[in-house]
Amino acid sequence: MGVFATDYVRGELDAATQRRYEDHIASCPRCRIEVEEVKETVALLCAAPAPVASEPDPGLPQRVLARIPGREWTAARPARRYRSFAFASASAAALLLAAFTLLFFRARGDGGAPEKPGRAGLSGSAAAPSAPGRREEASVISRARSWLVSAQEPDGSWDPRKWGGSASFRVALTGFALLALSGDDRGSSGEACCRATGYLLRSQEESGIIGEASAGSLYNHAIATLALIEARGSSSAKEAAIERAVSVLQSAQTPSGAWGCIRDAEADAALENESTSIWALQALVRAAALDYETDARAIERGFQWFERNLGREGMRGGAHTGWARHVCGQDSLRFITAWAVVLRDRKGAPAADTRLAADHIVRVTLSERCPLTFYESYFLLRTLAALETPSLERVRARTTRSLVDSQVREGSLAGSWEPKDRWSPVGGRLYSTALAALALESSET
């Protein structure tokens, strides 16, 4: 069965083969490990940094021109056979001069491409860029929502295969898109939210889980549950579906307080997953706040599980496997854990944990040179917005400015973000756009 791992990760198996393979890996630890290794390999390839050009020498164009013999600039020529060479030399010199001049001014920042999002820029000595204003952020979010509406399928879902993602996460990506649209229930966004809500309700199985059984079924389910809770509008069918979905999350929680990628409360601890756990915990917290029937003990166990990832010197990633194991250290795990701690702090837990999380975020963000993923940007900005700490304003400003400046502005993809981080092979443009919009929305509010 190992020959299917790569095709499975890339979402290239047909539906029947995919179902058989997912049934197999659910009971085969060796194949599950192979799948995770393939995912990490793909992530490593996607995360490989692009070469960065060094600062060009401002005197280079003059030195290039100086090496061209002076006779080549002379109008008169003793023989016709040299004229074409002279013209070519002068033309090449002119092109070289233009190219080096353009490169020089771009490197100086005079009309070049916007700064690439990443931690390297945060630790530089240059002055921090100004944070985008509320009006600018609102305009960027509005364009993102317009693109998401245009990419929605007639059945109310979003199809990852059309945008570079994996079909296995159609439910989760539909949930992300619905979350990004839920902040605006007017006009086309409101209609798109209704269609997306209908799709998720139709996707709920008799067992209460949203989406088909798969290796990532609980990840899909947790995000879809949160999206339904946050979506505007109410109906008896929706309320009943949310109650059943919440019940699934509570029954799938492991004894230690976490959640895995598959719906199995008795799963080995190695299958516990920070990424699935944070979405499940957020869904339960929101459900409790809106008076859905929840178990307070399950929420408390979830917070305690995240807090066990805290150490004296800041957060450290605990035991983890699967999608949450990032190739650039364990920064995403820390961002996720930081948000979990802040989320608990907002419920009345000691503020010391919040200060620890904030200190860790600043230290990691300023010291590491890996680019921020859209996933990291989302949890980072959610945390910073909740902390409202002035000393972290520079981090927030650079992160939001990078997101704003990197949005596609022209063509049919205007309003979206290029899927270029390590999770893009899984989520594609739907992931990058929905998470970027959600991150900016968190910063704005």
Q: Averaged over 315-326, what is the pLDDT? A: 36
Same domain for 343 and 421?
Answer: yes
396 versus 346: the higher-pLDDT residue is 396
443 and 157 in contact (C-beta within 8 Å)? no
Same domain for 97 and 23?
Answer: no
Same domain for 356 and 316?
Answer: yes
- The rounded percent of the chain whose pLDDT value lies above 70 is 62
As given in the structure block, the two tokens for residue 281 are: 């915990």
Q: What's the pTM?
A: 0.69
Asked if residue 282 is part of any domain, the answer here is yes
Same domain for 270 and 323?
Answer: yes
Same domain for 32 and 166?
Answer: no
Greatest pairwise CA separation for the chain in angstroms: 96
402 versus 40: the higher-pLDDT residue is 402
Q: Averaged over 100-118, what is the pLDDT? A: 39
Same domain for 82 and 10?
Answer: no
Instruction: Note down the domain range covering 71.
Output: 64-101
Torsion sign over Cα 90, 93, 94, 95: positive
Q: Tell me the chain's radius of gyration from C-alpha atoms.
A: 26
Q: Name the helix (H) or strand (E) containing 442.
A: helix 424-444
Q: Give the mean pLDDT of the chain.
A: 75
Asked if residue 54 is part of any domain, the answer here is no
The residue from 101, 119, 147 where one domain ends is: 101
Asked if residue 389 is part of any domain, the answer here is yes
Highest mean pLDDT among 57-61, 89-93, 212-216, 368-372: 212-216
Asked if residue 125 is part of any domain, the answer here is no
Task: For residue 439, count other CB atoms closer than 10 A to its CB.
Answer: 26
Structural domain total, the chain: 3
Q: Averaged over 149-158, what is the pLDDT? A: 97
pLDDT for 80 equals 43
